[in-house]
Structure 1
């Protein structure tokens, strides 16, 4: 199967395309904005105050310079103060107050916006993780795990980092720029035009560079996703890697992808540095032009020297957003690429979802019925072809047949891992599509051939089987489930007993121990339907007997679907179904069905038939 195809990003056309990439995230953030409106409003007030303080900051210097020059005998057009020392003291005190107020406003703005932004994006990360868990099993079967992890960790993390270090300062500087442009136009519109002439040049020269930076950043994020996938696959398959001495092969592949991310990162950095330096040149040209024209205006009496200083100070502050835009273009482009990757994930639609009319909250007896069920994973290649099956509540049915015949697909339908293309799957007469996904899955407990455990305590691993979650089960219920599963004795023999933390995937325990903990997890679920998918395959004789006894205790009085190649497990069923080619080819009493297919079973057991 091929990997799931996420929407292909559009070809970027510069920083204007980076903004839509970030804008796509807005609908997914909007739901969380109300909870942060106090912080956002406080940040907005602080930003407005900071802009006002920035506008006021150069004016004390203007009064000092004009007062000193006038006192030295220069002929200025404005009236000179009678008490220069008083003006100097007031100007210096005023500057100190303005600087202090600006620092406080800037601090408040940064804290408010940073808290709001981090909380919003933390909520987005939580939404992305929850959405991943809702996506259909078919998506996860084809998806690259490392890339998905990269999207919900690194990509969201990059968005948070850029929001604080780049976006917020840029927003504040742009607000300051707008206010300063108004002031300089009032002061001297001719000099203001000299400052404004550089902005169109900056936009024209920066467009190509930002487009290339955005393209490279997107490629870099994609390559990093591939790198994370390769690392995840290698580390999770370390037994195979070491057993087959694949270390050089894995290292070579990792090195290749690693070098690719390095090259893309260096290229993006070069482009960003080039844009920054070209912006510095433009700012230098504009500053020289303003100084020359401003000096001429001072000589002509249209401006005082102090007003020219104010103008130059505003010029420096006004060009700061240009410098920031050049400086942060790479980060903004990376954030846009990360936003696109996160949104592409969030916009994946689950193939199995609750219908608007779905009902919940009912306990079923476990009568299973499949009627003319067709199912395909790839269009035009059905794995189930018109399957009919009825299992009365409390009965045990074994499903046997060659590998790939569609046996496990039947179990997936009962759990609503996928819905049939056509036909109906029912529990107690209810079409599963008329029930919520949670309710359907709470009615079914499953024990797999390879029962995975989570890297937490044994107590939590067992308690996770409860439909209401680990917190809905008491310690007494956990211990009782372990006793039913035959796991209590070996658990209390462990160093920390039920509080023993198992390794990732439970590899610190034996196969039989993992299987009995999985059975205990199914016991806690207390579901009316139990699916055993090759639950005893691969166990040694003594362990298989223990696990089989535990499974018998688990399934007593429950509807049980046994998917197996084990003839003994099949003979213990009330009825056996032979599945072949996606169809129920035979059905009846165990001895009769197994006898009719003895030759085929021997071929399957010997490996002559898959």
Structure 2
């Protein structure tokens, strides 16, 4: 998900358009609220336009009245003018405050709803992406995209962009009014805009570049924190606390430097903008005063000019103020869109159909699969498991054994060959009907930080409490669960760390049991257990797998001897298969033999074993 990022505001526009494409569907559902907010915004703009005029009438009326008194003339109804102007100013200010309140609430509510929907869509989309994506992504960085990046996206979409639009509309309206009042003075007023645009473009380029570096560093920091906290047992066991703290501090310092640099640039742009506004105000004040003395303007109109000048340049100040935040949000939006534009590699084909209840006949025919390009793990594997048969897949580490589980569940698809169940290619079946018919017990049985009952019930939607307890009894877990403080309602720690390895494994077996799946895969499910616990888990697994097609993936030769047949996998292919004692004795004997003269004999036996297996399976 890495790509070259633009470093200018203009260069960021394509990325912003990409972001808008994914945000727009959620904004559509908020049209009534956004329309109300825009109406309130335009009402507030109108009140801003009206606000200086009562002061203009009062000022001109007072000056006119003072001139009449000096000339000995009777004063006009100044009291009436003052009363109307004061009342009008109060009404305008009150309406403006109400409009501003309604605008803020409407935009904030729309923004939070938008944030909720986009974040939910992002999380859901991440769960649909294939294992090939997740294996090559850092968890902490993905978490940062779903959480903080979505928050910054809301910032630019609602809390900064929409009010900025209101200020731009205000500026355009005010410039139009002052052109009607006095065109030459209006030209003086807007003369600083080109200077601001040139200055802002140069500084915003640097802010955008720094902001992208900061978001990238924050993603790396989140990944480091996630990895460290999830591996706390390893860190403390190997006394790596100082090393991890030092690495985190270095990354943390990098984000601090980038953040401070962006703030300095943004603050510098704000101060330059204030200086430009001050220059424009001084010029308008001087030239406007000369035009008042010349009779081209009234004093009240000059006050309106000055008031409009400050209000009209507010968008310039806001743009300077929000440049850093908009840059960060634009970078966050692109990072989020990078996730949305990732497509799942494993999906239902257009011709896929729901699977019937499996008999459990498993075939792999000439299967090739790789995790990284040009480095295949499976190299034309052939394997056949009969319905209800219990087989063991044995071989050295890295031979491709665990890849079988991923292929059968379609967590990955082969690059070549076929994976068939009951004679049907699994790619011709819907994922929703395929995966529930395969139960997997892994070496590391991950549990969620919720109750034991919910962890078991996660095995199959709609599982009842009675079915949960029956599965727990089958797994030999009921007794120790009832001995816990809250029984089945006991909340386990994250990843199940508050339970022992054997307890976690038996709950995982119970979770697999509620699926009532015709195919069961045990992937190194007994690794790391002590002898007593292993015996209990083996008994539970035997109860789980009774009458089901069972594939035991293991490097433990003793565990493989209880299988009906053994497949020896090496180099991504099945090099031997047959009865457990025959294959295991043959393979261990071949491994013990040394010298080149032992090799042909082993190869001959391997070939003979494969031919016997073909005869058996046909």
TM-score (norm 1): 0.93
Matched, 1:577 2:567: yes
Instruction: Give the Cα–Cα distance (whole angstroms) in 2 for the partners of residues 360 and 121 of structure 1.
Output: 36
Matched, 1:438 2:438: no
484-493 vs 433-442, which deviates more? 433-442
The within-5 A match list for 1:139-178 is: 139-163=133-157, 165-178=159-172
Show the counterpart of 1:608: none
Q: Is the 8 A contact 2:51 2:89 kept in 1?
A: yes
Matched, 1:480 2:489: no
Superposed displacement of residue 354, structure 1: 2.0
Superposed displacement of residue 20, structure 1: 3.8
Unmatched segments (≥5 aa) in structure 2: 594-618
Instruction: Give the Cα–Cα distance (whole angstroms) in 2 for the partners of residues 536 and 240 of structure 1.
Output: 21
Matched, 1:260 2:250: no
SS in 1 for 2:522: strand
2:545 to 548, 555, 568: 555
Instruction: Give the Cα–Cα distance (whole angstroms) in 2 for the partners of residues 186 and 44 of structure 1.
Output: 26
Show the counterpart of 2:329: 335
Superposed displacement of residue 74, structure 1: 7.0
Show the counterpart of 2:104: 110
Instruction: Give the Cα–Cα distance (whole angstroms) in 2 for the partners of residues 92 and 9 of structure 1.
Output: 58
Show the counterpart of 2:534: 544
Show the counterpart of 2:481: 491
Show the counterpart of 2:494: 504
The within-5 A match list for 1:195-594 is: 195-360=189-354, 362-466=356-460, 468=461, 472-594=462-584
Show the counterpart of 2:604: none
Deviation per CA, 1:515-539: give whole Å up to 9, x if none: 0000011011222211100111111
Superposed displacement of residue 165, structure 1: 4.2
Relative to structure 1, is the Cα distance of residues 363 and 259 closer, same or farther in structure 2, using a 3 angstrom cutoff?
A: same
Show the counterpart of 1:38: 32
Relative to structure 1, is the Cα distance of residues 207 and 74 closer, same or farther in structure 2, using a 3 angstrom cutoff?
A: farther
Matched, 1:10 2:5: yes
SS in 2 for 1:11: coil
Show the counterpart of 2:602: none
Instruction: Give the Cα–Cα distance (whole angstroms) in 1 for the partners of residues 244 and 537 of structure 2.
Output: 37
Relative to structure 1, is the Cα distance of residues 139 and 296 closer, same or farther in structure 2, using a 3 angstrom cutoff?
A: same
183-192 vs 543-552, which deviates more? 183-192
Instruction: Give the Cα–Cα distance (whole angstroms) in 1 for the partners of residues 529 and 396 of structure 2.
Output: 20
Q: Is the 8 A contact 2:196 2:273 kept in 1?
A: yes
SS in 1 for 2:498: coil
Superposed displacement of residue 486, structure 1: 0.8
SS in 2 for 1:335: helix
SS in 2 for 1:25: helix
Superposed displacement of residue 252, structure 1: 1.5
Superposed displacement of residue 405, structure 1: 0.6
Superposed displacement of residue 562, structure 1: 0.8
Relative to structure 1, is the Cα distance of residues 301 and 510 closer, same or farther in structure 2, using a 3 angstrom cutoff?
A: same
Q: Is the 8 A contact 2:378 2:571 kept in 1?
A: yes
Q: Is the 8 A contact 1:43 1:113 kept in 2?
A: yes
Q: Is the 8 A contact 1:491 1:497 kept in 2?
A: yes
Instruction: Give the Cα–Cα distance (whole angstroms) in 2 for the partners of residues 315 and 600 of structure 1.
Output: 92
Superposed displacement of residue 358, structure 1: 2.4
Superposed displacement of residue 263, structure 1: 1.0
Instruction: Give the Cα–Cα distance (whole angstroms) in 2 for the partners of residues 386 and 295 of structure 1.
Output: 90
Instruction: Give the Cα–Cα distance (whole angstroms) in 2 for the partners of residues 587 and 204 of structure 1.
Output: 75
Superposed displacement of residue 160, structure 1: 2.7
Instruction: Give the Cα–Cα distance (whole angstroms) in 1 for the partners of residues 519 and 592 of structure 2.
Output: 30
Instruction: Give the Cα–Cα distance (whole angstroms) in 2 for the partners of residues 31 and 359 of structure 1.
Output: 30
Deviation per CA, 1:267-299: give whole Å up to 9, x if none: 111111111111111101111111122112222
Deviation per CA, 1:249-271: give whole Å up to 9, x if none: 11211111111111111111111
Superposed displacement of residue 601, structure 1: 7.0
Show the counterpart of 2:598: none
CA-based RMSD:
1.8
Q: Is the 8 A contact 2:114 2:154 kept in 1?
A: no
TM-score (norm 2): 0.92
